């Protein structure tokens, strides 16, 4: 064997890859856990939970963003949960997922985080969540039900926390599409859903980014505005200004307060789903410059 071929073999044999974990703890809805640990992990690494859209999987979403390459460069760990239930759509409607510590997909995902923090000595103050479509909906659910776990989140083409509450399912084929068509509440009403998900909690609340396409006819753009109303009330930050051209010419950025706690991005001509903006998101999380 040529020396150069041997080096290539060794490199491929040791390169980081997506791995399945089956023994991560309590898993009430029997969802799947996949993890990506880069070859060079930072000391006390940050952790990002990345949630796939309806019909997807953890393996698919691993290939669906550029997050693995950023993990390689910056040493953070990625968790890619996957649900085999509800046509591979997340459980964002059940009282279990919408209540701290009570079960559902949400608790299974939180147990994945706890497993990763323990096994890799992760930084519990640097745990983040992002997702697209159904994954964006679950991003808001996790931020509302488990504010003690997540420091920040980014929801792409999702809906507000508890928007689907009471529906039999939260799939595009479900009988109740009131939420996805732009269900509206006052900011105070939306905030109450969050507060009721963890009664008595007085700690920090996750910082949030909301991304949505203005040409989205599956999860209507109003859903993004409603999520911003919710987090504006929860975080106590009013809309301060709009900036056009960020991250590109077709987008308008909505900045709440000083922009460190809440931001929204709406894209003209952008459908379902809004593309993941890794650089903007990771800067907001504080993981890159």
Which residues sit opposite 239 in a β-bridge?
256
Annotated catalytic residue within 132, 133, 167, 197: 133
Which residues sit opposite 128 in a β-bridge?
48, 152
Tracing tokens 């709009």 back to the chain, one arrives at: 242
Residue in 103, 163, 105 with CA at minimum distance from that of residue 129? 105
SS (H, E, C) 211-278: EEECCCCCCCHHHHHHHHHHHHHHHCCCEEEEEECCCCCCEEEEEECCCCCEEEEEECCCCCCCCCCH
Yes or no: say if 213 and 274 are a contact pair by the CB < 8 Å rule. Answer: yes
Tracing tokens 């994945």 back to the chain, one arrives at: 112
DSSP 54-122: TT--HHHHHTTSSHHHHHHHH--EEEEEE--SGGG----SSTTTTSTTS-HHHHHHHHHHHHHHHHHT-
**Catalytic annotation present for 133:** yes
Q: Which residues are catalytic?
A: 133
């Amino acid at each position: 064997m040529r020396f150069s071929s041997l080096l290539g073999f060794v490199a491929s044999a040791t390169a980081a890859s997506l791995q399945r974990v089956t023994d991560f703890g309590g898993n009430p809805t029997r969802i799947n856990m996949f993890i990506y640990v880069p070859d060079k992990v930072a000391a006390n690494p940050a952790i990002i939970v990345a949630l796939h859209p309806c019909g997807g999987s953890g393996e698919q979403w691993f290939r669906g963003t550029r997050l693995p390459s950023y993990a390689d460069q910056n040493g953070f760990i990625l968790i890619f949960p996957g649900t085999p239930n509800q046509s591979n759509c997340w459980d964002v409607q059940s009282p279990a997922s919408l209540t701290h510590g009570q079960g559902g997909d949400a608790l299974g995902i939180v147990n994945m985080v706890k497993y990763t923090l323990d096994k890799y000595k992760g930084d519990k103050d640097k745990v983040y969540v992002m997702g697209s479509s159904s994954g964006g909906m679950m991003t808001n659910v996790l931020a509302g039900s488990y504010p003690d776990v997540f420091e920040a989140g980014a929801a792409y083409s999702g809906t507000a926390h508890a928007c689907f509450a009471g529906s039999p399912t939260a799939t595009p084929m479900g009988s109740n599409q009131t939420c996805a068509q732009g269900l509206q509440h006052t900011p105070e009403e939306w905030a109450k859903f969050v507060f009721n998900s963890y009664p008595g909690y007085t700690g920090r609340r996750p910082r949030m980014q909301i991304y949505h396409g203005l040409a989205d006819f599956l999860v209507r753009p109003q859903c993004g505005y409603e999520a911003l109303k919710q987090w504006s009330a929860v975080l106590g930050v009013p809309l301060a200004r709009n900036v056009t051209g960020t991250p590109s010419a077709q987008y308008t950025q909505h900045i709440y307060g000083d922009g460190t706690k809440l931001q929204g991005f709406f894209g003209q001509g952008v459908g379902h789903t809004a593309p993941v903006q890794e650089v903007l998101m990771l800067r907001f999380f504080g993981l890159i410059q």
